[in-house]
Structure 1
Amino acid sequence: MKYMMMVLASQADYDAQSGKGAEGIPEWSQKDLQAMFDHMGAINNDLAESGELIDAQGLAEPAQTRLISRGKNGVEITDGPYGETKEMLAGYWLLDCASFERVTEIAARVLECPTPANSPDYPIVVRPIGEVPDTVES
């Protein structure tokens, strides 16, 4: 079964990783960043070796986001970040795992990622990818 496993973050988290901490979000050092990259890299390597990894990507900061929506006068385009949004998708894995239990184990491992003390904790979101039936009745 295929799953999408998603990690969340806020613009302030990206700022902290760039050396600009804020209230409640400590600044990341180069050592902190390297520990995170090492942890995530080890997970990716293990998933590639097991054949469960389809794709994994970190996403650019929310400040580089664009929202395209339908407005009263047609298409509206808004640049991010969005004040009403606490956190956004920061990265994802596309996985092919034998069970929901297995992808849950992987998500728990991601949660063990080292971060600076007092950093915000975000949940990992896991969603099965819908299977399209072989035949569709009309």
Structure 2
Amino acid sequence: MAERFPIHDLTLRPLAATEDPGVVRWLALREADQLLRRFGEAEIIRLSPGHSTALTLRPVVDEAWALLEGAVEAFWHDLRPRSPTSGARYRATLHEPVVLLAPFGVAFGVRALEGPVLLARFATHMRDDPESREDVILEWEPGP
């Protein structure tokens, strides 16, 4: 049975590594995973210890993130008015290769705890897509 989280549609799953001499591969995202409705852009992000991505609300954009190296605090805040978990917040400390989903309408950001941190981000829309005009940068909430 799949793990249940306090935010509807949130997904976390470990990334399995395959290794050949001198090469490590993580299969981060496949069409069969059915995490993204469409493809807009992908980017690789390196965070220094103590730094964070912006906590961003993307009303129409789904994002799949892959943590490849390092440790992060991930934070989700469900701001979808009709979601069964509207208003819910969730924090997770992640230390191993993992893929996660930031569903549309859920504010999301990561903060590097140990690093450097290496992330890959896959989004359904490019940042300059006209449908992304309503993206909002929010203030990080203090941790517990």
Query: Would you say same fold, with TM above 0.5?
Result: no
Q: Which has the higher helix share?
A: 1
Query: Which one has a bigger Cα radius of gyration?
Result: 1
**Per residue, is there more strand in 1 or in 2?**
2
Instruction: State the structure with bigger RCO (CA 8 A, min sep 6), 1 or 2.
Output: 1
